[in-house]
Structure 1
Amino acid sequence: MQSTQIDQRVSLAVSTVVFALRPHPRTGHDTLWLPLVRRIREPYEGAWALPGGPLESDEDLAASARNTLERTTGLTTNYLEQLYSFGEVDRSPADRVVSIVYWALVRPDEAARAVDGENVEWFVADEVPELAFDHNRIVEYALGRLRAKITYSPIAHAFLNPEFTLAELREVHEAVLRKPLDPANFRRQVLASNTVVPTGTCVTGTSHRPPALYRFDPASTTTRERP
């Protein structure tokens, strides 16, 4: 009986989808943006791709995601979560590669520290060009996941300062969902959800009635969060 040796070597990679809110270049309304990195070697040399790289043997997954993100884009973030794994057999033209994908949501002050250079550029997330590998599919999956999750979890806090107004929170939801929301209905729904608590302070330096400041209640995530 003749035996056949099967090459089962699989490379592991870690990539990160980074979302930040910036004004759209045409409408001026806040929308989701993400940074892409230009590949400098084959396969897909010269094409745009998500920040990432091979998983090193001495790094765990989250550390690899953070390190490659900072090394390629200069970004650090407080919100980093494992998103999904992509492992189709033919997703890489050279080797068998399985990618563990994370997503990071960054505040404006965090996004401002990102590297802007020849090989790093920010794109409107819904208008990315043709990307290397299956990264268009990964971006599409991440957008769908974010838009679903913001409707049932307090994930919007990752785009905001620790203290925020309800109007600022609504603007995040509108930017992610790409549609306007009724301010009064949104306020009622947020307050009824018990995901935010008043800080007892208000915005200073305004000429009108100063809006109240809120913060997210971490305890609310244990009852509202779902996969």
Structure 2
Amino acid sequence: MMKYSGQTRVLVAVDCIIFGFDGENFKLLLIQRGFAPQRQKWSLMGGFIQPAESLETGAQRVLKQLTGLEGVYLEQIPGFSEPIRDPVERTIAVPYFALIDIHKYEAQLSSEYHAEWFLLSEMPDLIFDHNQMVEMAKMRLRYKAALHPILFELLPEKFTLPKLQILYEKLYETTFDKRNFSRKVLSTGLLVRQEDKDKESSRKGAFYYKLDKEKYYDNFEAFLKFIPNPEKFLV
């Protein structure tokens, strides 16, 4: 088999930044690294690309190993390529962020990796440049959520408008006017109101809604108009 002469081997890895939402808070799924260097330190879930894999296929494999889930929303962000980022061997890392409804994975999470959910605002110090990856992924998610309704990937099939508002408030670290938020989100036409209510949070209760999947995929920019001052997140 032909090879390029005089070239030095460089490894390529994928790292998955796995965001979840538990109905109240944004969370990040981390594992304890099982080998040196920095063994037992907290880390993103990652792995080396295999010869027959594309980057996305490798990311999907890594995600399935940890959560057992397939068909999860994945998006690539810029790679990390500093020559000394990995002290063992020259490795280029290509991160992907994933959006998971926490309650879908609970019975499937692998115990092999000692995975644990952390509040995004309280994550521990991570190995190598993984903290930078998380920050970049968070900024990218804010950017995308200002333009597209991708945050629905974090919600169960049925949800209330108050839960949806909490989801957006937590991501953007701000507060929305309740009436204005409800009016604007309903004006997108993406939600279908259900007959039943969630009465756990109040006596009156809040109607459940479901996402109109057809409109969701056909009108992916519907949510741009209700993110306040979206330009400050589009950097």
Deviation at 1:104, TM superposition (A): 0.8
Contact 2:29/2:118 (8 A) holds in 1: yes
Match of 1:145 in 2: 140
Contact 1:164/1:215 (8 A) holds in 2: no
* 1:89-104 pair list within 5 angstroms: 89-104=83-98
Cα separation, 1, equivalents of 2:47 and 2:113: 19
* Structure 2: runs of 5+ lacking an equivalent: 225-233
What is the TM-score normalised by the length of structure 1?
A: 0.81
2:21 is the counterpart of 1:15 = no
Contact 1:20/1:111 (8 A) holds in 2: no
Q: Which shows bigger deviation, 115-124 or 205-214?
A: 205-214
Cα separation, 1, equivalents of 2:121 and 2:6: 41
Q: How many residues of Structure 1 are paired with residues of Structure 2 in the alignment?
A: 214
- Determine helix, strand or coil for the equivalent of 2:147: coil
Match of 1:26 in 2: none
Cα separation, 1, equivalents of 2:116 and 2:168: 25
Matched letter for residue 101 of structure 2? R
Contact 1:202/1:210 (8 A) holds in 2: no
Cα separation, 2, equivalents of 1:31 and 1:149: 19
Identity of paired residues, percent? 28
Question: Which structure dedicates a bigger proportion of its chain to helix?
Answer: 2
Cα separation, 2, equivalents of 1:145 and 1:62: 18
Deviation at 1:84, TM superposition (A): 2.6
RMSD, aligned CA: 2.8
Matched letter for residue 46 of structure 1? Q
1:62 to 26, 31, 56: 56
1:215 to 185, 198, 211: 211
Q: Which shows bigger deviation, 201-210 or 168-177?
A: 201-210
1:149-171, Cα deviation, whole Å (9 max, x unpaired): 22222011111123433223212
2:59 is the counterpart of 1:47 = no
Matched letter for residue 168 of structure 2? H
What is the TM-score normalised by the length of structure 2?
A: 0.78
Deviation at 1:46, TM superposition (A): 2.1
2:166 to 164, 171, 177: 171
1:164-199, Cα deviation, whole Å (9 max, x unpaired): 33223212112222332111111222233x261425
Closer, same or farther in 2 for the Cα pair 1:7/1:101, shift >3 Å? same
Cα separation, 1, equivalents of 2:153 and 2:122: 22
Closer, same or farther in 2 for the Cα pair 1:197/1:129, shift >3 Å? closer
Contact 1:15/1:52 (8 A) holds in 2: yes
Matched letter for residue 58 of structure 1? A
- Determine helix, strand or coil for the equivalent of 2:50: coil
Write out the 4+ residue segments of structure 1 that deviate beyond 6 Å after TM superposition. Answer: 222-227
Cα separation, 2, equivalents of 1:55 and 1:144: 25
Q: Which shows bigger deviation, 160-169 or 51-60?
A: 160-169
